[in-house]
Amino acid sequence: MARSITRSVTSGIAVAGLVAGAALAGAGVANAQHTVTFNSPSTLSLDRNSAGQVLVGYENRSGTDLGCAFVVSNASVVDGLDRHLRDSADPVGAFIDPDTWPTALQTSVTRAIEAEEFNIGEGAVAEDYSGVVSITGGTDFPMDTTFPLHGLSMCADESNPSALYVEFERTSGGGVFGSLGNLFGSAS
């Protein structure tokens, strides 16, 4: 049983990088220089609907269509990933390649996967869109969990890949109906 858990965890970490890479490769930003911001005008939000399923919301104020990769997990994973990205000379490469993640972050992800507190996915967010994002690829969304929600997104300009604009957003809390209500009016 330990071997299957180890394989599952390793696969989960690898999937995180692959999903993020796929989202950004589609936007033309993998392996390139980027204009990166951690303080964009856009907003990432997380909440649970009346059935308890996690919803990912995004208010896109970037002025362009975005292709996004999302990580929803616990505080340890999201804090560690955010810290790693901010400390990196290439945050996009650091997000895409979990092999570059510090051992402590990889350990946090492993524990989160084992506890079913780690989900990743990708989605497109149109210019000026504000609402729940349709998540494709990655792991199960909407997800049924009860852990405190924390999330991080990496979104890239889909309409002009040569612009190489990338924004990172993070959020914490959520999980109590209504935090998305500020963006969308209703999360149910």
Where are the domains positioned within the chain? 2-175
- Is residue 144 a contact partner of residue 72, using CB atoms and an 8 Å limit? no
Q: What is the pLDDT of residue 94?
A: 87
pLDDT the model gives residue 174? 53
User: pTM for the whole thing?
Assistant: 0.76
Q: What is the pLDDT of residue 28?
A: 47
Q: What is the pLDDT of residue 15?
A: 52
Q: Give the whole-angstrom CA distance, residue 138 versus residue 185.
A: 27
List 68's β-bridge partners, or say none: 123, 155
**What's the number of CA atoms in the CB half-sphere (13 Å) around residue 169?**
22
Burial class (CB in 10 A: 0-12, 13-18, 19+), 32: middle
pLDDT of residue 35: 79
* Phi and psi angles of residue 31, each rounded to the nearest 5 degrees, phi first: 60, 45
User: Do strands 66-73 and 149-157 pair parallel, antiparallel, or not at all (unpaired)?
Assistant: antiparallel
Per-residue model confidence as pLDDT tens for the chain (188 residues): 333 333 444 445 555 554 555 555 444 444 455 678 888 899 999 988 887 778 889 999 998 899 898 999 999 999 999 999 999 988 888 888 888 899 999 999 999 988 888 888 888 999 999 999 987 766 655 565 678 889 999 998 877 666 678 888 888 755 433 334 333 333 33
How many CB atoms are located within 10 Å of the residue 179 CB? Answer: 19
- What is the structure's pLDDT at 76? 92
- The model's pLDDT over 15-25, given as tens digits with 9 standing for 90+, comes to 555 455 555 54
Please give the pLDDT value at position 33: 58
